[in-house]
Amino acid sequence: MKIGVEEASRILAGANDVLLVGHTDPDGDCLGSLYALAKALKSDGKNALAVIKKPLPAKHRYLADLLTPETKIPPKADLIIVLDTARTARQDFAPAELPEAPTLCIDHHLGDHEEYGNSFYDEKCAACAILVYRVIRELGIEIDNKIADALYTGIVTDTNSFTNQNTTEEAFQVATELVRLGADPGKIAAYVYGSLTPNDLAALSKSLASLELYYNDTIAILTLKKEWTGGRHIDTELFVNYARNLITTELAVMIIETDTGVRINLRSKGGFDARAVAVELGGGGHKAAAGIRMQATIEEAKAALLKVISEKI
């Protein structure tokens, strides 16, 4: 059931033991939202725990005091909050891994959110962090500099530094307020955009060399094979933007080989609906930014993508 900020806040106010979960492979918006809401609830005297499966990326290590990989999930909770996803299949921890409890979803993706009992969502919102900001304000909880940093992280990463077409007036207004409350844009930018390693750059070089262009250079596809990473973790989140920045590109695609198949990032300049492509292949997201996971090889995924794209070009 879709609810507003007042009802979402009322539900939160009535819970004491709160478990917070994001989506698989959480990005800056998901991590920032988890951190900010968990810290706000803790400061309000609640027993709040935000859980993630994988270690924090180096670029978000300033959130490490609250977000570390959890191997032990509490056996019970008054409320489970799911952040930044419209589907249970995308949760970092599946429902079966969590205690039985009422669920509140807070999200900004397109979707009906019917799998959740209550959902506070707004597809026009630039970032989940803005919805979390609204909830914290409604609860009357003070936003300190660490909460401000986390919320600002969500906004700046999901708008690609306020350059994506999802950037709204509210995004600028909330970001300005967060800076007033102690968020440090310079520090966050230094971490988010200045934490690449030599291995990341080596992998980026090989990925850029894989560039293929289709449909009069309007579709740009990059790939990243496992063998190019040397078995190391590679921060690929920004790779797809290099293809998106080509002057002719309408849709950029990054296909990343994984142990179980491929992970695909789609980025559009706004004219091409990235989400429409993703949904047909089992993924989701926004018009300008979407993602897919497939049990397929790189070549199989590329063929499937091009078939769907050919029907929408």
- Nearest CA-CA partner of 180 in 156, 140, 152: 152
φ/ψ of 59, rounded to 5, equals -70, -10
What's the average model confidence in pLDDT over 228-250? 91
Residue 111's pLDDT is 81
pLDDT at 304 over 90: yes
pLDDT at 138 over 80: yes
pTM of the model: 0.92
pLDDT at 270 over 80: no
Which stretch of DSSP H or E encloses residue 173? helix 169-180
State the angle between helix axes of 128-139 and 5-13 in degrees (0 to 180), rounded to the nearest 10.
60
pLDDT single digits (tens) 40-58: 999 999 999 999 999 999 9
The tokens describing 269, both together, are: 């300049």
**Which residues touch 185 (CB under 8 Å, ≥6 apart)?**
152, 156, 179
> Domain-by-domain residue ranges, the chain?
5-193, 198-310
Count the neighbouring beta carbons within 10 Å of the beta carbon of residue 235.
16
* Residue 214 to residues 100, 158, 306, 310, Cα–Cα distance (Å): 48, 27, 9, 10
CATH hierarchy code of domain 5-193: 3.90.1640.10
What's the average model confidence in pLDDT over 187-208? 94
3-state helix, strand, coil in the chain (%, to 5): 40, 20, 40
Residue 26's pLDDT is 94
Question: Could you tell me what percent of the chain has a pLDDT over 90?
Answer: 84
**Domain 198-310, classified CATH 3.10.310.30, yes or no:** yes
